[in-house]
């Protein structure tokens, strides 16, 4: 049975799909999808108008975060799960410095080309790929090639949307914005001009419900509405959802361990680690509760020379993100208590979470959760050199009190 993708309605975004001679880098496993179903690049209509309305097909996207759009009618089933196409880098919705839409008026205010500014004088619409250098070396509203490539490389390590149990939103292809658009985008900036190519990232997402930030409905804030969206109508359904959320969250918390490799030639360990990304804003929750990491451009190999450094990295990764994961689990349990009662207070609720967590992870090859006295201990066993690199972390103290 296929688990359907779900998405929360958001602002409609007029895009123009441009096809033809485009530079594309894609995952060969998804070639039929990216070369037929979603081929082309997707430019915001304001940029298309500024370019003099070259040939293209209007497409309606749904806003996802600030510089991405969903294409809900472009879907792909991987294994038994349905994913929706998302385009990252198809124009920013908001002004970079004010909480107002980036519309034609705002675009003209940052335009460095009189003719372009005049061309937009009578246009409406909002959303623009700009030439402002933003967060390192990324065009605001677009995507930089190196970031896009990091995302694709991480995605290539996935097998059917998972890396050793860590669920991801696969990047299927990268598309370079044609020069006719890139030249125009580079003429819009506030302070510093971005120097580089403009790319877009085509990825697949099971939902647009993020954990806490950056979506019209987030799991941590709008848990009641998320339950309705996901069709959770019984306690048993909620427990199944919690099982999937707990299992996938703990896979995310132990990504380094489960992706660890040892390079005999260099003598170095390599495993995937999170850079400037977080579970609360860069991961989405699927309808069955499975957490999928979306912003793969923030996942790269971390190198360690010796087992002690590997252990430190495993611990740091876990502690850096465990609060976000715990928050999601608690949010779910709080909502369960609101709807069906059944717990004798917060400690009873936490006991339920920990029981389900233990069951959820029982078949995980890289971790186990064992009671030790009045503590609950997480044993992490990396994919290589288990004896030397294994880590024990106290997951819960004074359990039962």
* Per CB under 8 A, 176 contacts another protein: no
Minimum distance, C-beta of residue 78 to another protein, in the bound complex (Å): 8
Rounded CA-CA distance 117/128 in Å is 13
* Per CB under 8 A, 13 contacts another protein: no
* Per CB under 8 A, 313 contacts another protein: no
* Per CB under 8 A, 66 contacts another protein: yes
Return the biggest CA–CA distance within the chain. Answer: 74
Total site size for another protein, rule CB under 8 A: 55
- 65 closest CA partner among 176, 162, 141: 141
* Per CB under 8 A, 282 contacts another protein: yes
Contacts of 94 (CB under 8 A, 6+ apart): 66, 100, 101, 102
Number of Cβ within a 10 Å radius of residue 151: 26
| Interface pick for another protein out of 97, 192, 263, 316 (rule CB under 8 A) | 97
Minimum distance, C-beta of residue 122 to another protein, in the bound complex (Å): 26
Do 245 and 285 contact (CB within 8 A), yes or no? yes
Rounded CA-CA distance 147/151 in Å is 6
Please give the structure tokens belonging to residue 334. 């709080």
Rounded to the nearest 5°, which phi and psi values hold at 255?
-60, -45
Angle, helices 235-253/346-360, rounded to nearest 10 degrees: 70
Minimum distance, C-beta of residue 131 to another protein, in the bound complex (Å): 16
- 284 closest CA partner among 211, 175, 199, 388: 211
* Per CB under 8 A, 115 contacts another protein: no
Q: What share of the chain is helix, strand, coil (3-state, %, to 5)?
A: 35, 30, 35
Minimum distance, C-beta of residue 235 to another protein, in the bound complex (Å): 6
* Per CB under 8 A, 339 contacts another protein: yes
Minimum distance, C-beta of residue 115 to another protein, in the bound complex (Å): 27
* Per CB under 8 A, 67 contacts another protein: yes
Of 110-118, 158-166, 194-202, 244-252, which segment contacts another protein by CB under 8 A?
Answer: 158-166
Of 34-42, 61-69, 189-197, 312-320, which segment contacts another protein by CB under 8 A?
Answer: 61-69
Q: What are the CA-CA distances from residue 186 to residues 18, 24, 189 (Å)?
A: 19, 21, 7
Please give the structure tokens belonging to residue 153. 């490389």
Rounded CA-CA distance 380/254 in Å is 8
* Per CB under 8 A, 192 contacts another protein: no
The 241-280 site mask, x for binding another protein (CB under 8 A), equals ----------------------------------------
| Interface pick for another protein out of 75, 157, 320, 359 (rule CB under 8 A) | 359
Residues that bind another protein (CB under 8 A): 10-11, 63, 65-68, 79, 92-97, 99, 135, 159-160, 164-165, 213-216, 218, 221-225, 227-228, 233, 235, 281-282, 295, 335, 338-344, 355, 358-359, 362-366, 368, 383
């Amino acid at each position: 049975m296929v688990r359907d993708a779900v998405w929360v309605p958001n602002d409609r975004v007029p895009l123009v799909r441009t096809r033809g001679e485009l530079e594309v880098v894609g995952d060969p496993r998804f070639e039929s999808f990216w070369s037929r179903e979603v081929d082309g690049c997707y430019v915001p209509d304001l940029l298309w108008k500024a370019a003099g309305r070259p040939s293209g097909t209007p497409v309606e996207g749904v806003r996802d975060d600030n510089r991405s759009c969903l294409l809900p009618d472009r879907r792909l089933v991987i294994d038994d799960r349905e994913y929706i196409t998302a385009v990252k880098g198809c124009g920013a919705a908001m002004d970079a410095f004010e909480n107002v839409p980036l519309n034609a008026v705002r675009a003209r205010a940052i335009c460095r080309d009189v003719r372009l500014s005049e061309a937009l004088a009578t246009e409406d619409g909002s959303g623009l790929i700009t030439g402002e250098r933003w967060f390192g070396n990324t065009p605001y509203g677009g995507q930089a090639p190196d970031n896009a490539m990091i995302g694709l490389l991480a995605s290539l390590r996935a097998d059917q949307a998972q890396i050793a149990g860590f669920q991801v939103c696969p990047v299927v292809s990268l598309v370079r914005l044609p020069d006719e658009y890139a030249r125009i985008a580079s003429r819009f900036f506030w302070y510093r001009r971005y120097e580089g190519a403009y790319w877009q990232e085509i990825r697949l997402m099971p939902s647009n419900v993020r954990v806490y930030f950056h979506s019209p409905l987030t799991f941590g804030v709008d848990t009641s509405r998320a339950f309705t969206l996901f069709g959770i109508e019984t306690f048993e359904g909620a427990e199944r959802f919690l099982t999937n959320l707990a299992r996938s969250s703990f896979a995310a918390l132990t990504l380094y361990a489960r992706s660890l490799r040892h390079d005999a030639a260099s003598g170095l360990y390599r495993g995937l680690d999170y850079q400037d990304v977080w579970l609360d804003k860069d991961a989405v929750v699927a309808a069955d509760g499975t957490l999928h990491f979306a912003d793969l451009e923030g996942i790269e190999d971390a190198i360690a020379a010796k087992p002690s450094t590997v252990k430190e990295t495993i611990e740091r990764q876990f502690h850096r993100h465990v609060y976000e994961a715990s928050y999601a689990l608690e949010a779910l349990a709080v909502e369960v208590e609101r709807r069906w009662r059944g717990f004798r207070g917060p400690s009873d609720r936490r006991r339920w979470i920990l029981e389900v967590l233990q069951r959820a992870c029982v078949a995980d090859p890289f971790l186990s959760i064992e009671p030790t006295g009045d503590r609950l201990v997480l044993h992490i066993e990396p994919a290589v050199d288990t004896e030397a690199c294994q880590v024990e972390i106290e997951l819960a103290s004074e359990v039962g009190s």
